[in-house]
Amino acid sequence: MLAEELPAQPGASASEPAQRVGPGAYPRPGLAPVSWREHYYPDVADAEWSDWKWQFRNRITTLAALDRFFPLSAETVTSLGAVLHEFRLGIPPYYLSLIDPHDPHDPLRLQAVPSIEEFLDLNVGHEDPLGEESHSPVPGIVHRYPDRCLLIATNNCALYCRYCTRKRIMEEDVAPAARHAFDGMIDYIARTPQIRDVIISGGDPLTWSTARLVELLDRLDAIPHLEIIRIGTRVPVTLPQRITPELCAALERYSALWINTHFNHPREVTREAAAACAQLQRAGIPMNNQSVLLRGVNDDPVTMRALVHALMRIRVRPYYLYQCDLVRGSDHLRTTVARGLEIIESLRGHTSGLAIPTYVVDAPGGGGKVPLQPQYLADYSQGRATLRNYQGRVFHYDDPGA
């Protein structure tokens, strides 16, 4: 069921996205059924549940903990043990509550819960599919484009997405990098005047304390030629409790700060996620969304249209739709480029242009983002363009003087 079709929750206005609270009611002999949260976390008060630090501390990080929610056979435990040796597991209780444990093909489960398919794909793909290490002039910096660079701030995330392109760094110690580790990154940006735009990513930089994040932002903000700072984060989706008034008040100080977030499915656009985005927007921070095209998650026109419409309702602009990278262990989640083009074509003309993301393949080996669009230019010769519109109708446009 898509977000647009979900019944409104009690007290919700028609403009609020509906929230899927969990997989349903859990029966109790002789007593009224309870919700998912009451069943699995009966002693957790609302204040704790709404505390991002509690959510982060209580992430599901082991197979033993996962078995409580998704019973695992001995054979599965053996296979998934090999997967977790390569790439961490981490699911906050909040995000876990959105997954239907009875549906092995639940689109949120496919993103968050390790699977046998991931084990079978362990030797398919690449450790560094985008060639980031070959474009790293100093540790922690990826400088592929002339005027912007990526600053990898952390290898910690609230939720470890099973298709993560940086699995290679997630194998390391979870402790934050020492402050002096950022000296080389800041120095490189400061002595490279063509860099006007920095994307802080990881891992997820919003898993840091507010004070630590502000310290990094202050150092970047002090570089005269730096015009734009962007934060790449999935926290509004997976740990919306992290978006606190304290954090928003701190981020509000930076005039050229943007946030790129990462919704992949309309069911992720919950009340909590919408409220987190609204807080950031009230602090004056514009928001874009970068989705990844994933098999069984969002690789059909109906789901993608529901997703972009849900994002527009919460004022988060659909920015990129990424073809899934050739990262090791994720082949079962990849779909075809032809399918991506089909989905983009299904949006064009059937929703507003503002809701249509740019479909890109991040070229393997470090070629950068290559935008792909359905072909609407049928012919161009002797000053005349032959055009096809979204309905398949043909039109001619003549150049000046043609």
Catalytically active residues, by annotation: 144-145, 148, 157, 161, 164, 166, 325, 362, 369
Tokens describing residue 145:
């484009």
Write the Ramachandran bin of 24: left for phi over 0, alpha for psi from -120 to 50, otherwise beta: left
Burial class (CB in 10 A: 0-12, 13-18, 19+), 74: exposed
**Rounded-to-integer distance, Cα 387 and Cα 173, Å:** 54
- Is residue 361 a contact partner of residue 401, using CB atoms and an 8 Å limit? no
Paired strand residues for 74? none
How far is it, in rounded angstroms, from Cα 298 to Cα 229? 29
Cα 327 to Cα 68: distance, rounded to the nearest angstrom: 29
Question: Which are the contacts of 93, defined by CB distance < 8 A and separation ≥ 6?
Answer: 40, 41, 49, 55, 58, 59, 60
Q: How far apart are CA 232 and CA 153, in angstroms?
A: 10
Q: Which two tokens stand for residue 278?
A: 């609204």
Cβ-based burial of 214 (10 A; exposed 0-12, middle 13-18, buried ≥19): middle
Q: What is the helix (H) or strand (E) element at residue 277, kind and residue range?
A: helix 271-282
CA pair distance 379, 42, nearest whole angstrom = 64
Q: At a CB cut-off of 8 Å and minimum separation 6, what does 120 contact?
A: 332
Cβ atoms of 356 and 317 within 8 Å: the answer is no
Burial of 305 (0-12, 13-18, 19+ CB in 10 A): buried
- How many other C-beta atoms can be found within 10 angstroms of the C-beta atom of residue 291? 23
Question: Could you tell me which residues are beta bridge partners of residue 228?
Answer: 197
CA distance 11 to 18: 11
